Structure 1
Amino acid sequence: MRRLSLLLLCLLSSLVHAELPETDWLELMPPSDRKALEQMPEISHDTPEGKGFSAKGGIKQEKGLPAVMYSAKTVAKLDGKALRLGGYPVPLESDAKGRSTLFFLVPYPGACIHVPPPPPNQIVLVRYPKGILLSDIYAPLWVEGPLKVEKVSNDMADAAYALDATRVRPVEDADL
């Protein structure tokens, strides 16, 4: 009986700590946006920001890009769905211990200093009251929790989604 109890406890423990399957960033775009993205011409990085850090900072879209790069169109069936998304943090707020509690998650590193930034439907506002220490914004994270269709706009960026994270952790070599 004791052995069966231990086996059940181990099984329950593994279920509690099991990760959700990874959601691809392109799943956050409706099919029409994915098609437009595939047909988009090459974008030049021949700007001051393309050569390095932007004094302006932020990941707001500049004028003159193809329409899909401004898209805030969302996928309704994802509203409220628990998912796991891998991406890169753009810190917004930290707690007294220096842990990031609010950040944007973007699909590629350096989105806050490179041109062009992702469209709003490729930017997720992550709320994580527990906080996570971010020593390197170029180190990818796994973020888990229910995704919400929620338009967010501030000086830094426009996002079409928000996520109240239940778990945030760095991507490790074993994940790849």
Structure 2
Amino acid sequence: MPPGSHTMLRCAAMALALLALALAGCGQPKPGHARAPERFVPAPPGEPEPIVWSDLIPDEELAELERQMSLMQYAMQPAADHEESAPAAAQTGSSAVVSELDGLHIRMPGYLLPLDAATRGRASEFLLVPFYGACVHYPPPPPNQVVYVVAEEPVSIGEIWEARWVEGVLETRMVESELADAAYTLYLSRSELYRPGR
């Protein structure tokens, strides 16, 4: 197998499975609210480790995601063919985490959904999700594909349809919110508009 093929397979499988979940129906809010951690973990000096969404999934679960790709045949139909008949979907899927990521200083892309009341376009609690509309227009991804993000001070959130790079210390810490449960917590040190390769 050529170098990098395994990583490309992981990313492709994850992207297709998440797209299928995204097009399958609309999510329902969950009771409760995100509980901010009692302490904030600042990022250490040095460059963060770049990761992608499939890195948050334990290896043993990737095979199951590949089997779920059969959902794509349904999801690729025009929305009018199934949008009325598709049942509303709550969050499902795995909360299993990759323990090696606990405490790692990371950088990853995604979409930020503010959880606290934004004032002048600023907030301090978010969910980071892999595709636009997750948890609002579409079902939430599995908990291990949702990251609860907390900032020490409110930060500018930009537009929710714009992908962003986020950096900070990642912990394998479960947090519940009204929109979705997150299997990971990120202590935000930096956020910027997404630019491929940056």
TM score, norm. by length of structure 1: 0.71
The match for 1:25 is: 53
Once the two structures are TM-superposed, the CA of residue 134 in structure 1 deviates from its matched residue by: 2.7
1:82-101 aligned within 5 A: 82-94=105-117, 96-101=119-124
Q: Which residue of the other structure, out of 147, 154, 160, is the alignment partner of 1:137? A: 160
Normalising by the residue count of structure 2, what TM-score does the alignment of the two structures yield?
Answer: 0.64
1:42 corresponds, among 67, 71, 79, to: 71
CA 19–73 in structure 1, closer or farther in 2 if over 3 Å, else same: same
Q: Structure 1 segments of 4 or more deviating over 6 A?
A: none
What percent of counterpart residues are identical? 34
Secondary structure of the corresponding residue to residue 166 of structure 1? strand
What letter matches 1:82 in structure 2?
H
User: Does residue 97 of structure 2 align to residue 74 of structure 1?
Assistant: yes
Aligned residue number for residue 12 of structure 2: none
How much has 1:157 moved relative to structure 2? 0.5
The alignment partner of 1:93 has SS state of coil
Q: How many residues align?
A: 145
RMSD between aligned alpha carbons?
Answer: 2.6
User: Are the aligned partners of 2:135 and 2:141 in contact in 1 as well (CA < 8 Å)?
Assistant: no
Corresponding position of 1:161: 184
Aligned match of 1:150 in 157, 165, 173? 173
Q: Which runs of 5+ in 1 are unaligned?
A: 1-15, 51-55, 62-68
Which letter maps to 2:121?
Answer: G
CA distance in 2, matches of 1:96, 1:115: 26
Taking structure 1 as reference, are residues 94 and 113 closer, same or farther at Cα in structure 2, changes over 3 Å only? closer
Between structure 1 and structure 2, the one with the greater Rg is: 1
Mapped to 2, the partners of 1:132 and 1:48 lie a distance apart of 38
Note if 1:122 corresponds to 2:152: no
Q: Give secondary structure in 2 for the equivalent of 1:100.
A: strand
In structure 2, what residue type is equivalent to 1:36? E
